[in-house]
Structure 1
Amino acid sequence: MGILSSIKSMMSDEGFTPSASTFPEIDTNSIERSLKIRSKAKERGAENKPNAEQEASDAVELEIVERMRFLRNQGTEFYENMLSAYKARINRAESISQEIKTGALSARGDFLSSATNNRAEMAYSLMGVVDALKYLKSFRQEHKINRPYLEETRKSIYTLAIVVVVMLIIEVAINAFFFAETSPQGLLGGAFFALIFALANVAISGFVGWFSRFKNHRSFFLKLLGFSVILIFLCSTVLLNMGIGLYRDALEVTGDADLASAEWFSRIENQEFMLQSIKSVILAIMGVMISLYTVTKTYGSFDPYPGYGAVARRVENALQAYADELYETISDLEEKRDTFIDEFKASCDASGTFLSEAADALSGQATLTNKLNAFYEEVTGKTAMLVQIYRDTNVETRADGKIPKCFQVKLGIKKQTIEKMDTSKLERIADERCNEIKTISDRAINDISQIYEAYISYFPSVEALRSDWKEAELPSWEKTVDGLGVQV
């Protein structure tokens, strides 16, 4: 249960009646009918009761007085209940103040605990960034790299696959066109040969394009390997595409795939490398051009230095994970902060209204007292009126025409007045508690806001991490919190 719910339960006033409420209504006609005053007066008068010499009050008169005394007691009880309710509200101010103080301590502690737990989780993410940055720095030093990672090459990797597919389709189309004229199966057979040759050509070119980057490596052996791959590729791509052209010539002469293969091997054994058909020459040249383009495109789609891209991407991934987690933890703390602040403000407002109403009611106690005194006057006057109605009616109906001695005695309810009590002390207590509650609430809100601000300023931004941020720049969380002066 939140602090606001606790405060509301403490402020509930079952049976509380506002000071504007009225005292019991005195309806003499209703009382007269319910007590049957006139009929009893006539009945007893006809029997000459009470006796003319009787000095004690008549039973009917006593019944009237008792009924009116009961109404007066109801009014007194109402007045006392009203004052008790007002006083109880003021007396409850101490409990409400203590409840808010306890809630403030608990809220500050909970919020600080949440911030501390989130900080511990963020520390792992931050250390991941620190480790990745350290490794990147050592990689640069080891390989003597003074330039940043070429991030644009990473973006071009996504287009590399499209380029390779396009090159493959183009070469298949070209080969299919040139082989269709010589293949016994026509265009379908030409497409079959074209697909086999194009896959070999593009796949080898893509592999060479990626592997040729080793020519930039600091290691002599890897650099030698990179240049060797390039030289081998240049020779092999020319030989491969010339071989494709020779096979087309053989297929054009024989018209059969098996015979063309035998013819192809025969020409190679006899070192007859001259292409016979201009179409075969074009086919070979197009194949070499596509192969070279694929190599250069693949080479340009990765960072020129082998391994640098993987190390740099590790840093980027760590930074992205750190930024996402930092955003989530700050959003979580912000939501909790706003919830705490809204609840404290609502609790403070509700408590202030509660105590102000009680203080106002006490301030208006004079009005309530005046109403009670007026009610007492009304009871006294209407009691005398009802008694007189009984006596007059009784005398009018008496057979002996005498007036009993008891009728000559004044009968009624003794007048009573209530003095206004001094409520200044209770009003002062209410004001003090209102101020105290506001101070507690303001301090709690300020402490929670300070913890939130400390948290969001504690961790470095992604930009700071990129700008040669040092791990030693991260202060102690405990010292940071202690510096806020937050007491929990």
Structure 2
Amino acid sequence: MGAWSKVRGFFDRGEPLRAPMDDPFIQIDRAEAASSLRLRERGAEQGALELPAASMQTLDVVEAEVAAFIQDHFERAQIDAANSIRTYDSRLNSLSLIANLSSIRTQAKIALSDFKAEVATRRGRLTTSRDAIVDSYAELRDFRKKTDLRRPAHDAPPTSATIGTILVCWLLETIANSMFLRLGDSMGWLGGVIAAAVVGAINVGVAAVVGRLVWPLVNRREPMMRSIGWLGIVAWFVLTVLWNLLAGHYRDAKSLALPSPETAALGMLGSGLESIYSYGLLIAGMVFAFGAAISGYKMDDPYPGYGPVARRHASRCEDYVAEIEDATEELTGIRNDAVGEATDVRMELGRQLAQRQQILTHRDAFRRRYEEYAEHLEATGNALLQEYRTANRAARSTPVPARFDMAWTLPRAPLPRAPGEDVPRSAIDAAEADLEQTVTDISAAFDEAIESFEPLDELKRRIADG
């Protein structure tokens, strides 16, 4: 299903979390700094000059240099720390799935709605097929009631097999007749084959038509239709005998070299045939005619109209079964895709949640180190100032400024809060619950849909029970 495509776009496959390459929190060696700044010497020098004045409220030049030294270290650390924080923030921003929890819940609802819509579509198609079967049963039941039939329809052989049998009968009759009708023909074998083909086509063709259309009438329940069927069969039998007798006389007329053998054959009707070959022609014609008639008769159920009704019913039943199979297969695929994608989203959400927690933990630890480093620098600055002030106090005779007894404060700026820290845990839990509920609801909807697809045997039983 396509409902999860938007959510899958929020999957994060970026680089794993890495700590900053360089440590921005450089520890200051206080003794080395005091020696480098010559705090004791300069304190004694300034004290001997009675500087700074007792009324001076701002830092003197040496104290300002110490403060600048400390602030310089802090500013460099602050810049490096901000860059590191931006790295953490970038990783937090890349966890788009957490930032789009509302989209997860929306897409979960869409996925369930799409599945239910597909179920409704499939049920509609099955309803049409089921109605067709109900109508088909009514048609079949009415036909059986009208004809008093209690047996199932006979299976009809393939049409190609029936037509093939009739053609074989015609071909065999043509071959057999051509051996007789070639005698006395001015065109020899060619004339015999043409005459035999015409005689066989009429003989076999009429027999096939009678077998398909007339013979089944004897099975009808109506006395009049049965009488018509029997009269038709008798008429066909008489005509078939006359036609094959005429073919035998035609052979005799040709063998006697009579002019206009067709006319002569008509005049010879009523008399016996001249040779055993002519009788063979008669017997062969009757055999092939009956063979074609039987093939036509068995081409469908012997009761007229029963075969088409039964085939329509069977076709609708097959369509219904195929529709259920297609619906089950398609809904299974949709369910598996939806459940699989929802599971993937849920796993990805858990992975991003764990990574988010890891990033926030590292970031908070880094922030604490930043605060601790600021406190360290402030303490170092006060220690260096105290060293200068002690030497100054010892070298002077006048009172020191009152601020000599006050601690120096390092100006500092807090690091920004991490983006995404305002995402409540309850929202994440709700998204996970929605994903789990979506899997449950889709599975339940699938089971309900499959149970609602009435199998053919149950449908037949229900129709039979009224």
Scaled by the length of structure 1, the TM-score of the pair is 0.72
Root-mean-square deviation over aligned CA pairs: 4.5
| C-alpha separation in 1, matches of 2:443 and 2:458 | 24
Shift of 1:267: 2.0
Shift of 1:127: 1.0
Shift of 1:336: 2.3
Task: Give the corresponding residue for 2:163.
Answer: 161
Question: Map of 1:289-438 to 2, 5 A cutoff?
Answer: 289-363=287-361, 367-369=365-367, 371-372=369-370, 430=425, 432-438=426-432
| C-alpha separation in 2, matches of 1:382 and 1:236 | 134
1:147 is paired with a residue whose SS is coil
Query: Structure 2 residue aligned with 1:192, among 177, 191, 194?
Result: 194
| C-alpha separation in 2, matches of 1:243 and 1:25 | 123
Residues 383 and 229 of structure 1: CA distance in aligned 2, closer, same or farther (over 3 Å):
farther
Task: Give the corresponding residue for 2:251.
Answer: 248
- For 1:198, give the aligned amino acid: G
| C-alpha separation in 2, matches of 1:80 and 1:302 | 87
Shift of 1:367: 4.3
Residues 81-100 of structure 1 deviation map (CA, whole Å, 9 limit, x = unaligned): 5786798899985851x332
Task: Give the corresponding residue for 1:123.
Answer: 127
1:469 is paired with a residue whose SS is helix
Residues 115 and 105 of structure 1: CA distance in aligned 2, closer, same or farther (over 3 Å):
same
Using the TM superposition, name which of 214-223 and 86-95 deviates more. 86-95
Residues 335-362 of structure 1 deviation map (CA, whole Å, 9 limit, x = unaligned): 3222221221111111111112222344
Task: Give the corresponding residue for 2:19.
Answer: 20
Task: Give the corresponding residue for 1:265.
Answer: 266
| C-alpha separation in 1, matches of 2:71 and 2:370 | 19
Task: Give the corresponding residue for 2:395.
Answer: none
Shift of 1:328: 2.9
| C-alpha separation in 2, matches of 1:145 and 1:260 | 52
Question: Map of 1:33-44 to 2, 5 A cutoff?
Answer: none
Shift of 1:259: 2.2
- For 1:456, give the aligned amino acid: I
| C-alpha separation in 2, matches of 1:172 and 1:9 | 77
Query: Structure 2 residue aligned with 1:69, among 61, 70, 74?
Result: 74
Residues 242-282 of structure 1 deviation map (CA, whole Å, 9 limit, x = unaligned): 11000000011116xx52123223323xx32x100111111
In the alignment, does 2:111 pair up with 1:107?
A: yes
Task: Give the corresponding residue for 1:464.
Answer: 458
Report the number of matched residues: 420
Residues 375 and 188 of structure 1: CA distance in aligned 2, closer, same or farther (over 3 Å):
farther
Using the TM superposition, name which of 343-352 and 305-314 deviates more. 343-352
Shift of 1:371: 4.5
**8 A Cα contact 2:169 2:204, kept in partner:** yes
Residues 98-143 of structure 1 deviation map (CA, whole Å, 9 limit, x = unaligned): 3322222222222212211222232122211111111001110111
| C-alpha separation in 1, matches of 2:446 and 2:281 | 70
**8 A Cα contact 1:215 1:224, kept in partner:** yes
Task: Give the corresponding residue for 1:215.
Answer: 218
- For 2:333, give the aligned amino acid: E
| C-alpha separation in 1, matches of 2:2 and 2:100 | 16
2:304 is paired with a residue whose SS is coil
Residues 128-175 of structure 1 deviation map (CA, whole Å, 9 limit, x = unaligned): 111111100111011110111112xx1354411110111111011111
2:454 is paired with a residue whose SS is coil
| C-alpha separation in 1, matches of 2:160 and 2:462 | 31
| C-alpha separation in 2, matches of 1:166 and 1:266 | 32
Residues 373 and 22 of structure 1: CA distance in aligned 2, closer, same or farther (over 3 Å):
farther
**8 A Cα contact 1:377 1:415, kept in partner:** no
